[in-house]
Amino acid sequence: MTASRADRQSPCSMRDSSTKSLTMRFQTDPAPIWAFESRASAIKYRPDIDGLRAVAVIGVVVYHAMPQWLPGGFVGVDVFFVISGYLITSIILPEIESGSFSFWNFYRRRIRRILPALVVVIAAVWIIGWFVLWPTQFAQLGLHILAASTFVSNYLLASESGYFDAAAQTKPLLHLWSLAIEEQFYLIWPGLLLVACRLRLSAAGLLCFILVTSFSFGESSLAREPAWAFYGLPGRSWELAIGALLAVLRKPVAVPMPIFNVMGVVGAALIVISMVVVDQTSPFPGWRALGPTVGTAALIAAGPSTPVGRLLSLRPVVAIGLISYPLYLWHWPLIAFAGIAGVQSTPRVAVTILCLSLLLSWLTYTAIETPIRSSGSIMLRRCASTSLIALLFGAGILGAVTQWSGGLAFRLDQTQKRIADFHFDYDRAYRGGTCLIGQAQDESAFTSDCVRDVGAPLLLLWGDSHAAHLYPGLKTLEGQATFSLAQFTASACAPVLDVGSSHCRRINDFAINQIARLKPHTVILAASWWAYPDNDLVNLDRSVDQLRRIGIDKVILVGPVPIWNPSLPLALLAFYSAHREIPKRMQFGLTRMTDMDNTLHKMSLDLGIAYFSVLSAMCDSEGCLTRVGNDVSDLTAWDSATIGSIFIANRLSWRSHQ
């Protein structure tokens, strides 16, 4: 098939005749990549794209429900980005070419597409939050509602990101960051495309510039600002630009069908492999996002006539794709509230949440989305758009009031308020920024105060924040136990040499050099061991061997702490709401990490070092200690893993002198 002169022109410069010719030629192409019903209408429906939506949302939902089933399922969001860029550009480009494009009509369509389900989900989340969230959480939810209503959730989450940020399970609207990125792109892209067409510039050239610039920015930002690289529009625009470029380069090409078939298989393989190989420890997006994005582009370009396209066009797959948007909106709040309520994540719970999400999504699609979007009356569509904007504006005000009021604390009784007001100054207690180094700091941030030289045998803490957790308790015993303290700890860095990120490797090299210089009597190794890949544990012998070469005779490995889901104060609030008591020991919301404890104990025996089991010290058949005194101010934990430092330090100090 030979392209005509009109077809070789920029898409922005096409005239009626060339567009008509293009439409006719697509209708005769046995494997069309793009097809328009008419010059200024929506693109011809392709069921395989709804099938792609199904694959994307299934990946995201499975990852959120049971990450171990599909560790890279979150790349489904990247699939959505490419689809969205392609579809939106395919809709507005013919309108711009024909001169019928209207910003108002475009955004009115977006309003009817996005807001009905979004407003319903936000309202439902706020109502549920009224009953189950404590004031700090509810205030945070209010702020997230305000951000969601103004489509800036991604930047709010980027600013909150960090080790000591609230657990993800306490953020029921966490997932709206991706919707914010799409809407920000749609706010900018139609205007840029219109200007390019008016100035007779190459839309493809503009998109290539956006693609290269955004990808380069995102890749370079991963090491410096990983949260902003993940959540920010500048580092994500290239993914939408890939889809938009497909829509701009929409000329038919005489390509043999077997090549399209191969493209479909390769595209599907790239998406599936990414969902299996990439995981939450992988720096992302960066080049690792090329798998799902290029794979999606290949599937869209290959068309619906390939074997993979026909699989994606199967009715059950398309049915999920049709409700993919409400399914994406509903599934995460259900998972988050289940975690807040202390429900353990099990396959049965995951399947239950999935079924409930599907039901709510189908009801939202059939009873809310479809009637609003398919109304034949122009007046009703305009009224719907105005009403939806007003409702979203109202949601934003409600969120602002909830946040400004401190989470509407009048909802709680006195005991609940005391638990809700529980506060721990972790930064001061753990010497954050000086002896507990953050991920944005390097080894030069350690200060001379990290070694307290008082002439007594030196006890040195080496590890991540879970090693720093031990410092406050050991400090209270420092004088009476006749030892001095040293602390070289770094957030998210296990005390294992030659593994982990380059940041952690430098920190650990610095720590081992300090140990060689100081020659401490005892070195305590502690970390949130379950949070690291298995090979970190396997390579723990490297650290022990190096300590022995230095001449350290006493090494104590500290085991995992009990995990309260999502935190001990929240679990106690939920328990108190049901039973009206604050137990000394509690099973509710507890994960004991017994398997990890046994693994580390056996490893310590193999390595010939001492082992301290926190679980044995804190837990019995009735549960694990929630407090070490009679008041809620004596809670043993302030987040999901922090221990009662003084309580443990007494026992650990005794072991260190055996």
Query: What ranges in 99-233 are assigned the alpha helix state H?
Result: 103-132, 135-149, 153-160, 177-198, 203-224, 226-231
Query: With contact defined as beta carbons under 8 Å apart, do 389 and 151 qualify?
Result: no
Based on the domain organization, do 261 and 387 belong to the same domain? Answer: yes
* Count: domains in the chain: 2
User: Contact at 8 Å (CB) between 339 and 591?
Assistant: no
| 430 in the same domain as 379 | no
Q: Which residue has the tokens 């100054």?
A: 425
- Domain assignment present for 421: no
Domain boundary among 382, 411, 440: 411
Residue 39: per-residue pLDDT:
33
- Name the strand (E) or helix (H) holding 309: helix 307-312
Would 1 be classed as within a structural domain? no
Q: Is the backbone peptide bond immediately before 566 cis, with ω within 30 degrees of 0?
A: yes
Same domain? For 466 and 599 the reply is yes
Instruction: Tell me the residue range of the domain where 148 lies.
Output: 11-20+32-411
Which is nearest to 450 in space by CA: 466, 465, 432, 438? 432
Low-confidence ranges of the chain (pLDDT < 70): 1-43, 161-169, 251-254, 375-381, 454-455, 479-481, 535, 631-633, 639-643, 653-658
Same domain as 194, residue 103: yes
CATH code of the domain in which 502 resides: 3.40.50.1110
Is residue 299 assigned to a domain?
Answer: yes
- 418 in a domain, yes or no? no
Report how far residue 367's alpha carbon sits from residue 533's, in angstroms, rounded to the nearest whole number: 45
Same domain membership, residue 157 and residue 111: yes
- Angle at CA 170, nearest 5°, toward 169 and 174? 75
Strand partners, 586: 624
Residues 249, 360, single domain; the answer is yes
Residues 6+ apart with CB under 8 A from 654: none
Residue 368 domain-assigned (yes or no): yes
pLDDT of residue 532: 86
User: Of 411, 442, 471, which one is at a domain's C-terminal end?
Assistant: 411
pLDDT at 83 (0 to 100): 97
Last residue of some domain: 349, 383, 411? 411
Instruction: Note whether 82 and 173 are same-domain residues.
Output: yes
On whether both 166 and 189 belong to a single domain, the answer is: yes
Residues 151, 203 within the same domain:
yes
Same domain, 501 and 389: no
> Rounded to whole angstroms, how far apart are CA atoms 339 and 344?
7
For residue 164, tell me if it sits in a domain.
Answer: yes
| 574 and 643, same domain (yes or no) | yes
Residue 399 lies in a domain: yes
If asked whether residues 433 and 403 sit together in one domain, one would say: no
Q: Is residue 25 part of a domain?
A: no
